[in-house]
Amino acid sequence: MDAVEGFQRVVDRLHEWFCELDRHLVETVLRDETLEYQSRLRMGIYGPAAEHGAFARLQELRDHADAALLLDVEAA
């Protein structure tokens, strides 16, 4: 193995690690946002307008997660 191949393996491994980190962060944010939303809903903090805003935020995060996974599949 020459230096270029070795460097490419390191770059590939770093890319895999960053993709996994991104997936983990998105999943964590989705979980935290969902728990926050459920908690506020139980406490009666959200009315119909606020509930719609929270749902839109969760949908936005899910779309980001779907896009990140799609990019990973296309890259593979």
- Residue 46: which pLDDT band, with cuts at 50, 70 and 90? low
Lowest mean pLDDT among 3-12, 14-23, 35-44: 35-44
pLDDT tens digits, residue range 48-73? 555 556 667 777 777 777 666 666 65
Would you say residue 74 has pLDDT above 60?
yes
> Do 69 and 23 touch, CB atoms closer than 8 A?
yes
Pair 37, 60: CB distance under 8 Å: no
pLDDT of residue 19: 80
Residue 67 Cα distances to 5, 39, 45, angstroms: 30, 27, 31
| pLDDT of res. 64 | 73
Q: How far is CA 16 from the centre of its chain?
A: 15
CA–CA dist 45, 36 (Å, integer):
11
Structural domain including 32 reads 3-75
The type of residue at 13 is R
Domain count for the chain? 1
User: Mean pLDDT of all residues in the chain?
Assistant: 74
